[in-house]
Amino acid sequence: MTSTRARVTLTDATKKDVAAIVALQTATAQRLTADFGNGHWSHLPTERGVLQSMRESRVFVARGPSGIIATLRLTTKKPWAIERSYFTVVSRPLYLLDMAVDVTMQREGIGRQCMEEAARIAREWPGDAIRLDAYDSPAGAGPFYAKCGYQPKGAVTYRIVPLLYYELLL
């Protein structure tokens, strides 16, 4: 479905956004669990966890008329599941984490616009690559990241979790 919605813009989340981010991420986790069964995607976020993410990295939100419609996080800190040896050697990699789009608005181009915005922000950061991992399962977003121009860099199993690595050079 193609949306006629206004262009999505990511802005830094504030402490006032924490409850809405938790609600959005919870709804996404519940939808994935309903569609694909229990898995690592079934983990429910907490306000404490979102606040910690805000201290350690930059959490972004996209807003619509009814509130927050998407969120993602960019960080310079390598996540536990990323193995650097799979990626291109660069000076300033950023890592994209915790992306979620309102389940009632998925497949309307919001996720793709968020990925484009993340790349714009990363270039200004400055970063020279965005790296991420996705579950290697039907619940994973690997095909979505590939459609957004991210290159597959490998498949690994990390602590029993099958993952796919993706990278976008900036």
What is the tens place of the pLDDT at every residue in 128-166? 999 999 999 999 999 999 999 999 999 999 888 899 999
Residue 4 lies in a domain: no
Strand-pair partners of 157: 162
Element (H, E) at 98: strand 93-101
Contact 77, 56 (CB under 8 A): yes
Contact 70, 62 (CB under 8 A): yes
Domain that holds residue 34: 10-169
Distances from the Cα of 21 to the Cα of 10, 72, 158, angstroms: 13, 9, 27
Position 159 scores a pLDDT of 83
Distance between CA atoms of 57 and 74, rounded to whole angstroms? 6
Q: What is the CATH number of the domain that holds 155?
A: 3.40.630.30
Name the token pair of 117. 């915005």
Taking the alpha carbons at both ends of the chain, their separation in whole angstroms is: 29
Number of domains in the chain: 1
Residue 3 lies in a domain: no
Distance between CA atoms of 130 and 119, rounded to whole angstroms? 7
Tokens 């390598």 -> residue: 78
pLDDT digit string, tens, across residues 56-111: 999 999 999 889 999 999 999 999 999 999 999 999 999 999 999 999 999 999 99
Laid out side by side, the sheet with 67-75 consists of 10-12, 58-64, 67-75, 93-101, 129-135, 161-169, 151-158
Name the band, by pLDDT with cuts 50, 70 and 90, for residue 5: low
Residue 5 lies in a domain: no
Residue 99 lies in a domain: yes
Residue 23 lies in a domain: yes
pTM score, whole prediction: 0.92
- Would you call 61 helix, strand, or coil by DSSP? strand
Name the token pair of 139. 């619940």
Q: 8: how many CB neighbours lie within 10 A of its CB?
A: 22
